[in-house]
Amino acid sequence: MAATDGNRFVLSALLLIVLLLSGHQAQAATLPVDNVDVLYHRYDGGGMVIDGPSVLVRKSIGSQFSLSGQYYVDSVSAASVDVLATASPYKEERNEYTFGIDYLHDKSILSLGFTNSTENDYEANTVYFSLSQEFFGGMSTVTMGYASGWDEVGRVGNDSFSEEADRRNYQLGLSQVVTRNSLVGLDLEVVTDEGFLQNPYRQNRYLDPNDSTAFLYQPERYPETRTSTSVAARALYYLPYRASIRAEYRYFSDTWGINAHTIELGYVHGLNEHWTLEGSIRYYTQGEADFYSDLFPFENSQTHLARDKELSSLSGTTLAAGAVYEWKQTSLPGIDRLQFSLLVDWLNFDYDNFRDVTAAGDYLPGEEPLYSFDALVTRASLILEY
């Protein structure tokens, strides 16, 4: 019911924008610039190391079409607290391919794309469509997006296990020039899921009825539907010297009873014609899902059962720093612009009601120390425009 109302609201909003756009003279839109975007990414923390490359190539065909293709890899080496509690460390790889086409027509940009992601126990497919248009003399840009995904969930070591999950995203965004030095952005996104939404490997625990100093595991059991709504506001201000400050806030709520807030502040400082430095701080906090518990009182004590730490009450802080080298009108043959960035993010997550069952020492069930971890994310990015 909530999903239906959410969909109807978003569809009404999308329709409203179409009507608004039809009443205005739009400014000329431009297709994305031809470029090659190469990224190396590495995540290291909480017993997980995930790294790999990403390569995107974009090329225009004539003046109205732009084609893009991206290849992305996650090489995973996992020994996280969830894995160590009930299974053995493992390695796996996820490969993702995306193909997209952008079409400039009658002062709007229409984008269509397809993404396929495969790993040994999961396959995800997504088609997306978006429409972006500038109006009010280029002061406002409105973007509407829709994506539909269908996933196949498998389980290593159990060939007969096969489940499905479907997903739909509805997006609406507005970017608005406020003054010659400031921009604001508003975004709304509703996501609905249906199907097998839990991790087939994770389990939850309950008190052993025969021994109150011990606990037993049982499979996770999630609802088969979920609808979430996110609303975000962003503001960017150009300072009296060559630098900018940024503030963002996002509110999130879903039908599993989770509410979350995200706040981010950023600063970008232009050192000279080529170099800029940047730093940001991000704080995230969420409440737990209605059916989450670190320790259930007995087996099958309620309809839905989860002890996935991502559904618990938690908070996270990120400190980020980066350096960017930019070279416009390069003397390199065939390259108009080059940008190299090195970005490092330190993340810390603290859980309010997820306990670390792997902690050394003798603890009674429910008295183990609360879990927390930190991670370092490194990104090296090279963008060549031609």
With contacts defined by CB under 8 A, name the span among 7-15, 83-91, 205-213, 352-360 that binds other proteins.
7-15
* Cβ pair 45, 376 in contact under 8 A: yes
Find the binder of other proteins among 104, 207, 258, 357 (CB under 8 A).
258
Of the candidates 45, 89, 99, 97, the one whose C-alpha atom is nearest the C-alpha of residue 68 is 99
Name the residue nearer to other proteins (CB basis): 9 or 386: 9
d(C-alpha 88, C-alpha 73), whole Å: 23
With contacts defined by CB under 8 A, name the span among 23-31, 156-164, 297-305, 361-369 that binds other proteins.
23-31
Contact call for residue 31 and other proteins (CB under 8 A): no
Name the residue nearer to other proteins (CB basis): 14 or 216: 14
* Cβ pair 55, 73 in contact under 8 A: no
CB of 353 to other proteins, least distance (A): 14
Contact call for residue 204 and other proteins (CB under 8 A): no
Contact call for residue 254 and other proteins (CB under 8 A): yes
Q: What does the angle CA 234 – CA 235 – CA 238 come to, to the nearest 5 degrees? A: 150
Find the binder of other proteins among 104, 128, 141, 338 (CB under 8 A).
128
Of the candidates 368, 355, 366, 83, the one whose C-alpha atom is nearest the C-alpha of residue 207 is 366
Contact call for residue 255 and other proteins (CB under 8 A): no
Find the binder of other proteins among 78, 104, 142, 289 (CB under 8 A).
289
Give bridge partners of residue 100 from the DSSP assignment.
Answer: 68, 113
CB of 159 to other proteins, least distance (A): 20
Chain residues 62-121 in contact with other proteins, contact rule CB under 8 A? 70, 72, 94, 96, 98, 100, 111, 113, 115-117
Give bridge partners of residue 207 from the DSSP assignment.
Answer: 215
Contact call for residue 246 and other proteins (CB under 8 A): yes
336-342 contacts: CB < 8 A, separation 24 or more? Answer: 336/385, 336/386, 337/383, 337/384, 337/385, 338/382, 338/383, 338/384, 338/385, 339/381, 339/382, 339/383, 340/380, 340/381, 340/382, 340/383, 341/379, 341/380, 341/381, 342/378, 342/379, 342/380, 342/381
Chain residues 163-182 in contact with other proteins, contact rule CB under 8 A? 167, 169, 171, 173, 177, 179-181
Contact call for residue 242 and other proteins (CB under 8 A): yes
CB of 228 to other proteins, least distance (A): 6
